[in-house]
Amino acid sequence: MEKYFHSSIYFICILLLYLNKMSAQVYINQAGYLNNLPKIFYTNVAADSFYIVEASTNNILFRDELILSISNDPATGLTLYRGDFSSLQRDGNYFIRVGNVDSSFVFNISQNSFDDAYKKSLKGFYFQRCGSALISTYAGVYNHPACHLSDAAFHSSIGETGQKQTTGGWHDAGDYGKYVVNAGITVGTLLMAYEMFPVKFDQDNLNIPESGNGVPDILDEVRYELEWLLKMQNANGGVYFKVTKEQFESIVLPNNDSGTRYIYAISSTATGDFAAIMARAGRIFKSIDTSFSNKCLNASLLAWNYLTSNPTIIPAGGFKNPTGTVTGEYGDGNDSDERLWAAAEIYSTTGDAIYKSYFESHYTSGGIINSTMGWPNVKDLAQLTYLTCNQSSASTSVKSQIKNSLISYCNGLVNRTTANGFGVAINPGEYYWGSNADVLNKAVLLIYTYEQTKNNNYYDAALMQLNYILGTNAHNLSFVTGVGNKSVMHPHHRPSWADGIIAPVPGLLAGGPDQYLDDAILKANFTSSTPPALCYLDNNDSYASNEIAINWNAPLVFVLGYFNGDGLTSVNDQGFNSVPQKFELDQNYPNPFNPSTKINWQSPVGGHQTLKVYDVLGNEVATLVDEYREAGRYEIDFNVAQSAAVDIPASGVYFYRLQAEEFVQTKKMIYLK
């Protein structure tokens, strides 16, 4: 009897230890940490110290104290501690030990830690492509035949009959619909990333069909959507709202989805977003493909004309699903922000006074920057475009008002991070459907503010938002499929659900906690008293917390690509970015080279540098650089350099090769004489 009693006590002790172990957590950014950037983790274990242990040797390389982050975090109900190991700048694989027993996943410190996550997040858009086959060369096991090749018939509600060719573009989300409004902010955000940071977003090796064509893959991928969007415009300039079925699809691969897809009414929010992104595309594609650039700009101006001849919102009150249609509504009763954004983009592209004056007479209405952008609210995108536009006629006083407004809004965001256990810039009450994208859009604003001020508080706060998405959250989960040790496995994403493959399509961001419990399975698991950040389920049925969507992936690409680019450079006393750590000769575009083509490179060492052009047989045909240069980033104008040197004999394929001390890199160029 006594023996029996002892063994049950023993059993209970083991059980308690086990439960305790279950709840003890060490939360890290599961993508890893960039060598030169801040390194923060969290834990709910109350211990004095933490240790960074090298995984291969079990050697402790670093010890420091844990600091209380917050007791009874209102967002999670947890008491959280944080640790900072920013000063450990040694490449390797590590885990964090807190107290005596509790440890984190193994993670990596290097200058490339975000590269895989960044590339996956951008490639995620390729997997959303509609209207063309995803072949295994690019899609691997996720290949499937082309889908939705009959897009689409005019819906009976709109008073037009017949079909309009609207194939292509990306599926919006976990469903197979295509919605112009949501495409608007998505394309706007991706183009903004490229335009602000062209060197960080210039990869041409994502293994999409256009990779290696000399145009950065981010632009090729966006163009796939733009080509579809162009088909969504009516000859009168107005843009149709969406292409969907009347009901959401069943759980099938896109190529197995049958039933009629319809084009719904022209809308002024769709038309405003369209005008904005087409103007932006016109600007960015100008040096890459002139005729495409012109096409985009003309479509934008035509859309603007439609807006000016229809000064009040179309349809009245904003787009609503007709009876019998239940697909996404993207309901928005206010089109003034879409109009403002269109004006800002067209002005930034053309410099035309009409758009400048439209912007300047509307940009303060409702406040300059006092909220975070999202699909119904694109005002910030308008403000940021004016703030950073290159037109010499732009008003410096308007720019400085926008800048001040941005800074004061972001000061508020930084303050919020101190009231949240994981340093997240959203408050309880704001964990809406798609909260993860709101977190990342806040990071985008913080990055802009950092770029305007070079104050590291904004930079560090932006990075904390990304850490949250990649693992420093109450779920100890990476919200991005295929990234990290423990990531979303059951997204509400029809292809991932229907394909019979265990791992979901990689690179896709789950919507995240939704405290308003907008689906049945959330309602069944949580209540209104559940801490808001806990209202999340990695379950296919939870469309309100575990769907994926293009407008959520876009700020993920922006933020990951931004920090990824910084990982490739080192910190010094002057701040980030001054001396590159990595030797890199950029693949330039346009190919063929034209007179304004730039050649960019960076070298981590000073020394003698040569940049020479060779023909396909390896004969040297031109010298562009041949001199001592300090470590740093460089850009030369191809034409100027080339005319000062040996003349390239004939049109054709050549290679340009950079050598700086022991570093050598070669890239391909097509030259038209």
Identified catalytic residue from 202, 257, 547, 586: 547
Nearer to Zn ion, 237 or 254 (CB): 254
Identified catalytic residue from 538, 541, 615, 637: 538
Min CB(170)–Zn ion separation in Å: 9
Provide the token pair at 135: 């072949």
442 binds Zn ion (CB under 5 A): no
Torsions phi, psi for 71 (to 5 deg):
-95, 140
Say if residues 543 and 172 touch (Cβ distance below 8 Å): no
254 binds Zn ion (CB under 5 A): yes
- Residue 284, beta-bridge partner list: none
Residue 425: is the preceding peptide bond cis (ω within 30°)?
no
Enumerate residues 565-624 that contact Zn ion by CB under 5 A: none
Min CB(354)–Zn ion separation in Å: 38
168 binds, among Zn ion, ligand 9MR, none (CB under 5 to 8 A by kind): none
Question: 3-state DSSP call for residue 13?
Answer: helix
Nearer to ligand 9MR, 296 or 509 (CB): 509
130 binds Zn ion (CB under 5 A): yes
Nearer to ligand 9MR, 476 or 542 (CB): 542
Min CB(321)–ligand 9MR separation in Å: 10
Nearer to Zn ion, 256 or 610 (CB): 256
360 binds, among ligand 9MR, Zn ion, none (CB under 5 to 8 A by kind): none
| Distance from C-alpha of 396 to C-alpha of 385, rounded to nearest angstrom | 14
Min CB(157)–Zn ion separation in Å: 22
148 binds, among ligand 9MR, Zn ion, none (CB under 5 to 8 A by kind): Zn ion
Identified catalytic residue from 171, 475, 492, 493: 492
Which 8-state DSSP code applies to residue 44?
S
Strand 652-660's sheet: what is its strand order? Answer: 620-629, 607-615, 652-660, 663-671
Min CB(250)–ligand 9MR separation in Å: 15
Closest C-alpha among 550, 532, 548 to residue 540: 548
Question: 3-state DSSP call for residue 653?
Answer: strand
Nearer to ligand 9MR, 172 or 460 (CB): 172
Say if residues 396 and 404 touch (Cβ distance below 8 Å): no
Place of tokens 């599926």: 171
328 binds, among ligand 9MR, Zn ion, none (CB under 5 to 8 A by kind): ligand 9MR
* Interface ranges with ligand 9MR (CB under 6 A): 172-173, 175, 177, 328-330, 433-434, 543, 547, 549
Q: Is 547 a catalytic residue?
A: yes
Nearer to ligand 9MR, 475 or 493 (CB): 493
254 binds, among Zn ion, ligand 9MR, none (CB under 5 to 8 A by kind): Zn ion
615 binds, among ligand 9MR, Zn ion, none (CB under 5 to 8 A by kind): none
555 binds, among Zn ion, ligand 9MR, none (CB under 5 to 8 A by kind): none
Q: First vs last Cα of the chain: how many Å apart?
A: 98
Instruction: Report the 3 state secondary structure along 304-353.
Output: HHHHHHCCCCCCCCCCCCCCCCCCCCCCCCCCHHHHHHHHHHHHHHHCCH
Question: 3-state DSSP call for residue 67?
Answer: strand
| Distance from C-alpha of 576 to C-alpha of 458, rounded to nearest angstrom | 13
Min CB(176)–Zn ion separation in Å: 5
Helix (H) or strand (E) holding 361: helix 353-362
Helices and strands per DSSP (H, E), number in the chain = 18, 25
335 binds, among Zn ion, ligand 9MR, none (CB under 5 to 8 A by kind): none
Min CB(673)–Zn ion separation in Å: 43
Segment contacting Zn ion by CB under 5 A, of 60-68, 147-155, 306-314, 645-653: 147-155
- Residue 92, beta-bridge partner list: 109
Min CB(519)–ligand 9MR separation in Å: 10
Min CB(373)–ligand 9MR separation in Å: 12
| Residue 160 burial (10 A CB sphere; 0-12, 13-18, 19+) | middle
Instruction: Report the 3 state secondary structure along 90-156.
Output: CCEEEEEEECCCEECCCEEEECCCCHHHHHHHHHHHHCCECCCCECHHHHHHHCECCCCCCCCEECH
Q: Is 492 a catalytic residue?
A: yes
Q: How many residues does this entry show for the chain?
A: 673
Min CB(556)–ligand 9MR separation in Å: 14
Nearer to Zn ion, 148 or 403 (CB): 148
Nearer to ligand 9MR, 175 or 210 (CB): 175
147 binds, among ligand 9MR, Zn ion, none (CB under 5 to 8 A by kind): Zn ion
549 binds, among Zn ion, ligand 9MR, none (CB under 5 to 8 A by kind): ligand 9MR
Segment contacting Zn ion by CB under 5 A, of 73-81, 126-134, 549-557, 585-593: 126-134
| Distance from C-alpha of 394 to C-alpha of 417, rounded to nearest angstrom | 34
Nearer to ligand 9MR, 84 or 329 (CB): 329
Q: By 3-state DSSP, what share of the chain in percent is helix, strand and coil, each rounded to 5?
A: 35, 20, 40
Provide the token pair at 309: 């001849």
Per CB under 5 A, the list member of 147, 550, 571, 613 interacting with Zn ion is: 147
Between helix 115-126 and helix 550-567 the angle, nearest 10°, is 150
Q: Is 586 a catalytic residue?
A: no
Strand 33-34, strand 107-110: pairing: parallel
Closest C-alpha among 366, 404, 352, 330 to residue 182: 330
Q: Is 490 a catalytic residue?
A: no
Q: Which spans of this chain sit near Zn ion (rule: CB under 5 A)?
A: 130, 147-148, 254
Residues noted as catalytic: 175, 492, 538, 547
